[in-house]
Chains A and B, each alone.
Chain A
Amino acid sequence: METNEAQAVFESKLANNEYIEPKDWMPEDYRKHLIRQISQHAHSEVVGMLPEGNWISRAPSLRAKLVLLAKVQDEGGHGLYLYTAAETLGTSRDEMLDALLTGKAKYSSIFNYPTLTWADIGAIGWLVDGAAIMNQVMLQRTSYGPYSRAMIRICKEESFHQRQGYEIMTRMAFGSPEQKDMAQDALNRWWYPSLMMFGPPDTESPNSEKAIKWRIKRETNDQLRQRFVNQTVVQATYLGLKVPDDKLKWNPEKDGYDYSDPDWNEFKNVIKGHGICNRERINARQKAHDNGAWVRAAANAYSQKQNQQSEAA
């Protein structure tokens, strides 16, 4: 098929809300954009296990520990769904892992902040998973079939994550004065990094326009951020906690809250690798990768030996 003709087929599929599948023709830029976005999404799931992993051995009850373990296990699974979705575009798992470990690929800036208290685990489930779900609900209808299917699966599993986080916040906020202070402190520290999760403002987002044109995204960073603020403020109010933003105010004209932007210089700095935990996170991933090397080598050798024996038989 001629490229022009193939391009026309591709564009008509987008226009008709059809999905692009791995074997379909697609523009090189579309492929590259997806590989970058899906692999970074996968890295975020995997690195996202680390801040929460910090509290598995310190969970305040057996119930809390079981729940957190299940949640962290889910995040690992979500990383795997996304890696295989990216692999359908012609990249390999090894290339992606290499890009993460060498710093070539990014992951969500939020995971470079430390989890200082148990309330942080509540705030992560409530705010960080809440923000991620908002983005992922939109991505269920993304134009690339394998990415969309991974998102549908992930959204089904994620809804418990946000609820478990809010449950922790509820217990802290309605607990002792000290616990309530911890909950407020966690909200203070996680609020702006959570707003950053939707990416730079639309006016400064280099990839947004194409992503919308290709129907990879259906809503802009600012639209999603606004929805997140609107939804979250009422949840904070219920908890008796204060969103750390003096400019936060209901605006009936736009039917949403006016709010302050996060510090975009801080965002850029963390993305560049200068956040509080960037180095610690990559070192932890590198260590896990290195410690698993002998397992992969042994499993590989064993399967090759089995193959040889079955060929010889």
Chain B
Amino acid sequence: MTKDTQGPLWEVFVQKKSGQPFVHCGNLHAFDAEMALQNARDLYTRRGEGMSLWVVPSAAITASSPEDRGAFFEPSNDKIFRHPTFYQIPDGIGHM
């Protein structure tokens, strides 16, 4: 007999209302995608928290590394011209 197991880990994303983004809400164990979806419904949407679910095998997720945080996100730090507040707009031209 094979070793007792709880099945692999899945990450759960829930969409609260149509049109909104799917947000990570937690994880769970399941043996296949269908079971993961059913477990996610029972575990994470008992009070109308969502109307649509994604489940993704945790092993399929690649995450950025906290140690490289500085260098990895550095390219965005010195580009203040990407923000609207960088620009001066004359008075009297209405909303822009």
Residue ranges of A at the interface with B (Cβ–Cβ < 8 Å): 1, 21, 23-25, 70, 73-74, 77, 80-81, 84, 87, 93-94, 149-150, 153, 157, 293, 296-297, 299-300, 302-303, 306
Cβ-closest chain A residue relative to B32: A303
Taking the closest CB of chain A, its distance from the CB of B44, in whole angstroms, is 8
Q: Is the CB of A300 within 8 A of B28?
A: no
Contacts of A23 in B (CB 8 A): 63, 65-66
Checking A1, A77, A87, A303 against B67 with a beta-carbon cut-off of 8 angstroms, the contacting residue is A1
Q: Is the CB of A94 within 8 A of B4?
A: yes
Known: A80-B28, A84-B28. A93 touches B1 (CB 8 A): no
Q: Is the CB of A297 within 8 A of B6?
A: no
Name 29 interchain pairs, CB-CB below 8 A, sorted by A.
A1-B67, A23-B65, A23-B66, A24-B66, A25-B66, A73-B46, A74-B46, A77-B42, A77-B46, A80-B43, A84-B9, A84-B26, A84-B28, A84-B29, A87-B9, A93-B6, A94-B6, A150-B26, A153-B25, A153-B26, A157-B47, A296-B4, A296-B5, A296-B6, A297-B2, A299-B7, A299-B35, A303-B31, A303-B32
Q: Is the CB of A21 within 8 A of B47?
A: no
Tell me, in angstroms, the Cα distance from A303 to B33 when the chains sit together. 9
Contacts of A73 in B (CB 8 A): 46
B:3-18 near A, CB below 8 Å:
4-7, 9
Taking the closest CB of chain A, its distance from the CB of B72, in whole angstroms, is 13
Known: A1-B67, A24-B66. A300 touches B47 (CB 8 A): no
Contacts of B1 in A (CB 8 A): 297
Chain A proximity mask over B14-40: 1 for CB below 8 Å, otherwise 0: 000000000001111101100100000
Counting chain B CB atoms within 10 Å of each CB, the highest count among A1, A149, A296 belongs to: A296
Tell me, in angstroms, the Cα distance from A73 to B45 when the chains sit together. 12
Taking the closest CB of chain A, its distance from the CB of B29, in whole angstroms, is 6
Cβ-closest chain A residue relative to B65: A23
> How large, as a class, is the contact surface on chain B?
20 to 34
Tell me, in angstroms, the Cα distance from A6 to B71 when the chains sit together. 16
Q: Is the CB of B7 within 8 A of A303?
A: yes
Taking the closest CB of chain A, its distance from the CB of B23, in whole angstroms, is 12
Taking the closest CB of chain B, its distance from the CB of A98, in whole angstroms, is 9
Contacts of B2 in A (CB 8 A): 297, 300
Known: A77-B46, A297-B2, A300-B7. A84 touches B66 (CB 8 A): no
Q: Is the CB of B26 within 8 A of A94?
A: no
Contacts of A157 in B (CB 8 A): 46-47
Tell me, in angstroms, the Cα distance from A21 to B63 when the chains sit together. 12
Taking the closest CB of chain A, its distance from the CB of B41, in whole angstroms, is 12
Tell me, in angstroms, the Cα distance from A188 to B9 when the chains sit together. 44
Q: Is the CB of B43 within 8 A of A299?
A: no
Taking the closest CB of chain B, its distance from the CB of A85, in whole angstroms, is 9
Tell me, in angstroms, the Cα distance from A24 to B63 when the chains sit together. 12
Contacts of B46 in A (CB 8 A): 70, 73-74, 77, 157
Contacts of B35 in A (CB 8 A): 299
Counting chain B CB atoms within 10 Å of each CB, the highest count among A25, A94, A150, A299 belongs to: A299
Q: Which 5 A-B pairs have the closest CB atoms?
A: A299-B31, A303-B31, A303-B32, A93-B6, A84-B27
Tell me, in angstroms, the Cα distance from A67 to B46 when the chains sit together. 13
Contacts of B65 in A (CB 8 A): 23
